[in-house]
Structure 1
Amino acid sequence: MDSVNGKITKFSVDWLDTKVDQWSQKEKGNLKPTKVDCQTEYHSKKEIEDIEEETGEKPKVKNTFRTRKFIAYEDRIRAYSTPDKIFRYFATLKRVDEDGTSEVFMTPDDFLRAITPGLKQPDGLDLDAFIKFDPKKDQLNLNIPKDSIFYCFGNNALISFTDFVFLLTVISTPQRQFEIAFRMFDINGDGELEASEFDVVRGVILDTTAMGRRHRDHSTTGSTLKSVSQSALHDYFFGSDGKQKLKISKFLEFQSRLQEEITQLEFKRLQQDTRVSACTAERMITPLSTASRFERYAPKEGRITEQAFAKSLLTYAGFSENKRRLMLRRVKKKFPEDDIETSVGITFKEFLDFTCLLRCVSELDTALTFHTLAGAAIDPATFLHVSKVVAHVELTPHLVDVVFTLFDENDDGQLSYKEFVQVMKNRLFRGLDKPMDTGFIRFLNAIVYCVQHEIRRRLD
């Protein structure tokens, strides 16, 4: 029976992937291809002003039906496709070696786009379409600091498929779960793991994630999981000779740095308020002699708008478009962008502090529940106090005001905390903890279980 169950499950997954691919081809057939042109690029206000000053022309800023259609399709890929297909769709670079072999890589921006709903892939760089580069001749303009954690993946800070799946596991797994796994497989109790032991830990935790359960190796596309000894992270964790041991403290530090850098990338994207186009993708790789020509515009004053912050909180909420629009309308009404007195913006420090609070969302949920059971209202002062006690961060009253405006449905000055906590949990794990299927596979598994149960009952 177990073998039958496994075959049905595999058939269901293959059938679902086939349908998604068929839909993709149909969708692309219905949408006329457009020329890759810089004019289709989305620009921030700062970029628009600078481009107007230099060229005398205002760049096009579009959000056409075609664009919305593609974004909706790409969101379905993020939600329901296998890790292999997600990687091949959102990766933009292919390294071609002298012997003819090649390997596909993601940039840090590609990785952020792969896990963030609503971000459109550059035109012409969809499934199995890449920009070829030679690391000996070309320089990658990744717009990340020299001490970035992404350089742990190699000199070019590029992410392979194995690293991609590993990063998804790291950002979707709580620290406490890693601590328990380390202790379980630490045989001699010295708090350190060898490379082989870490491979076991990585595999066990991967199997507990929705993304890990959906993964299947694809040798034809090169999307196969490798051991840590074959990953670029091997030298970082275990030294060049592989004889060092990995401490849980070093791994948790890696996890924290990774989460912080992803937060930085996200904040920069919100600052620019732009979507990457094929023109920007072409700028990503330039000859060494001309690399400086394509420096990005620095965001003004290092802040994001209250509306941009509110949108980022709802990215993984899963609300209907009408409800989402209604919530954002409250923020827009209270903090209009053209009013410099009320719309002072959100700094990166505020954004990062709120992200730190999200990592303690379970404890925050417990604390808010206690206050509710005690009959205390969840007002801004209470929320500020709970945040300081639970996460040891001091949120600014302005940021809390934005949060309350977004989640205060009846305008009584109190937080609808149950909905808030659920949205924040989705935001913390970026939707990666949800089942990555439409429910059809679980439906078939339920049928198989019922048939097995009925057969056993009749045989008994």
Structure 2
Amino acid sequence: MADEVDLMSWIFEYFASSSTPEGELLMRPEDLMRAVVPVFPPSESHLVRDGYLRGERNPGDLRCSPSEFFMLFDVNNDGHISFKEYIFFVTLLSIPESSFYVAFKMFDTDDSGEIDKEEFKKVMALMRACNRQGANHRHGLRTGLKVNGSVENGGLVEYFFGKDGKDCLQLDKFVKFLRDLQDEMVRLEFAHYDYKLRGTILAKDFALSMVASADMTHLSNLLNRVDELNNKPHLKDVRITFEEFKSFAELRKKLQPLSLALFSYGKANGLLTQEDFQRAASHVCGVSLTDNVVEIIFHVFDSNRDGNLSLAEFVRVLHQRGRDIAQHVDTGIMVLD
């Protein structure tokens, strides 16, 4: 539990590249990007030849242009992001849209479709309380990190409510902001792997993006399967478009209904085919996956190399990226073996 309590603080300390004369650690916007986008070196780059270890994540070297969207978290325009603003950002990333909608409606007592600054702060505190790590930092304080003020007064509060804090926030505006934030994360990750700016990435890079969040106990085997794509003539030169990449990212958000459908179907009918997987993604989640994407998924998540999908492994790896399902795991509603 202690490790979980300190995880957010450790990540912040690891990536923060600046500090005040008083000793408060600070992130630059580019530090924030590196902290939240898990990546491997792109396969078309020179990084492996320059001495990077096989399978080494290098989050300190995100290969894409700076994001103007992330600059919004630098609320006082000093080029730095504090720990409390970082917590605010992580909370935003972890909010399932449906959960925020319910909380918003509860605090929108006059049913006007908007809430004021104080009501918003209560909603955000509630959202963070549902997350074990966020709850442990609900005041933005930790030994070794000098933080002034509470989390609720940081982040984008001024952006949403104006300098005087008297504007109101509409539900539709905030939901759009959350969706735009998720889309920006996907764009940054794709841009990182699109090393030669071709608008497409290799199948191997798509596979690396899928396993980038895997825990170390499974990572080596997964990377072996990623490397084996080089031995698949019909896959090694396949290139994945941004639309294909984005569709898979959308599927990650719906991992809970997808996994329920796949596990249920698998128990009733035995092995899952690639066509079964595509049908579940389309009919249950409303996400269309191309044949190339599904074939790469089946190749990477084939633990015993029998040509079939190892469904438990697929769900285990991807649930760390699926924010909705991560919330359920944290609260004990769903447990993955």
Q: Same fold (TM over 0.5)?
A: yes
Q: Does 1:381 align with 2:275?
A: yes
Distance in 2 (CA, whole Å) between partners of 1:389 and 1:157 is 45
Distance 1:156 1:191, change over 3 A: same
Secondary structure at the residue paired with 1:301? Answer: coil
Displacement of 1:220: 7.0
**Deviation at 1:376?**
6.0
SS of 1:346's equivalent in the other structure is: strand
From 76, 91, 103, the counterpart of 1:181:
103
Q: Is the 8 A contact 1:91 1:107 kept in 2?
A: yes
Q: Please list the CA deviations of residues 113-166 of structure 1 after superposition, one character each: whole Å capped at 9, or x if unmatched.
A: 33438644769xxxxxxxxxxxxxxxxxx92355x3543644577533222101
**Which residue is equivalent to 2:224?**
329
SS of equivalent to 1:317? coil
2:116 corresponds in structure 1 to: 194
Match of 2:30 in 1: 109
Partner of 1:242: 165
Relative to structure 1, the CA distance from residue 312 to residue 221 in structure 2 (aligned partners, 3 Å threshold; closer, same or farther) is same
* Aligned partners of 1:384 and 1:395 also within 8 Å: yes
Q: Secondary structure at the match of 1:81?
A: helix
TM-score (norm 1): 0.58
Aligned to 2:85: 163
* 2:166 aligned with 1:251: no
Task: Report if aligned partners of 2:117, 2:165 keep a CA contact under 8 Å in 1.
Answer: yes
Contact 1:191/1:247 (CA < 8 Å) preserved in 2? yes
Whether 1:205 and 2:99 are equivalent positions in the alignment is no
Given that residues 203 and 236 in structure 2 are in contact (C-alpha distance below 8 angstroms), is that contact kept between their aligned partners in structure 1? no
State the 1:431 CA deviation.
Answer: 11
How many Å separate the matches in 1 of 2:175 and 2:227? 38
Instruction: Give the superposition deviation at 1:354.
Output: 0.5
- Give the Å deviation of 1:379: 1.2
Q: 1:310 aligned to 2:202?
A: no
Q: Which residue of 1 aligns with 2:141?
A: 217
Alignment of 1:332-347 (within 5 A): 332-336=227-231, 342-347=236-241
Shift of 1:82: 5.0
Q: Deviations over 1:52-110 (max 9, x none)?
A: xxxxxxxxxxxxxxxxxxxxxxxxxxx6625344323311234x6xxx77865423432
Report Cα offsets for 1:163-187 as digits up to 9, x if no partner.
2101111212321211121122222
The 5 A counterparts of 1:35-434 are 81-94=6-19, 104-115=25-36, 116=38, 119-120=57-58, 143-144=65-66, 146=68, 148=69, 150-151=71-72, 153-154=74-75, 155=77, 158-215=80-137, 217-218=141-142, 221-226=145-150, 228=152, 230-231=153-154, 233-272=156-195, 299-320=196-217, 323-336=218-231, 342-375=236-269, 377-429=271-323
Question: What value does the CA root-mean-square deviation take over the aligned residues?
Answer: 3.4
What SS does the corresponding residue of 1:427 show, helix, strand or coil?
A: coil
**Amino acid of the residue matched to residue 31 of structure 2?**
D
Larger radius of gyration: 1
- Quickly say closer, same or farther: Cα 1:336–1:224, change in 2 above 3 A: farther
Listed as ranges, the gaps of 5+ residues in structure 1 are 1-11, 17-78, 124-141, 273-298, 436-460
Residue 344 to residue 101, structure 1, CA distance change in 2 (3 Å): same
User: Which residue number corresponds to residue 20 of structure 1?
Assistant: none
1:314 CA displacement: 2.0
**After the TM superposition, which of the residue ranges 211-220 and 386-395 deviates more from structure 2?**
211-220
Give yes or no for contact 2:94–2:323 (8 Å, CA) kept in 1: yes
Alpha-carbon separation, structure 1, partners of 2:122 and 2:9? 21
Classify 1:392/1:144 alpha carbon distance in 2 versus 1 (closer, same or farther; 3 Å). farther
CA distance in 1, matches of 2:205, 2:236: 15
Contact 2:254 2:324 in 1 (8 A): no
8 Å CA contact 2:204, 2:226 repeated in 1: yes
Q: Work out the CA distance in 2 between the residues paired with 1:369 and 1:401.
A: 19
SS of equivalent to 2:167: coil
Summarize the Cα distance change of 1:430–1:326 in structure 2 as closer, same or farther, 3 Å threshold: farther
Seen in structure 2, the aligned counterparts of structure 1 residues 257 and 107 have a Cα distance that, compared at 3 Å, is farther
Q: Gaps (5+ residues) in structure 2?
A: 40-55, 331-337
Are the structure 2 counterparts of residues 340 and 414 from structure 1 closer, same or farther at C-alpha, using a change threshold of 3 Å?
A: closer
Cα separation, partners in 2 of 1:151 and 1:315, compared to 1, 3 Å: same
Distance change >3 Å, CA 121–CA 145, structure 1 → 2? closer
Q: Is the 1:360–1:390 Cα contact (8 Å) retained in structure 2?
A: no
CA–CA distance in structure 2, aligned partners of residues 149 and 252 of structure 1: 17
Contact 2:256 2:325 in 1 (8 A): no
Structure 1 position 397, deviation (Å):
0.8
Q: Secondary structure at the match of 1:401?
A: helix
Corresponding residue pairs, total: 307
Identity across the alignment (%): 30
Change (3 A) 1:120 1:149: closer
TM-score (ref. length: structure 2): 0.77
The aligned counterpart of 2:53 is none
CA distance in 2, matches of 1:344, 1:308: 10
Q: CA–CA distance in 1 between the matches of 2:310 and 2:145? A: 47
Residue 219 of structure 1 deviates from its aligned partner by: 8.4
Alpha-carbon offset, residue 415 of structure 1 = 2.0
Give the structure 1 partner of residue 51 of structure 2.
none
Counterpart code for 1:113: R
For residues 174 and 430 of structure 1, the distance between their equivalents in structure 2, rounded to whole angstroms, comes to 5
Does the CA-based 8 Å contact 1:316-1:431 persist in structure 2? Answer: no
The answer to whether the 8 A contact 1:84-1:223 is kept is no
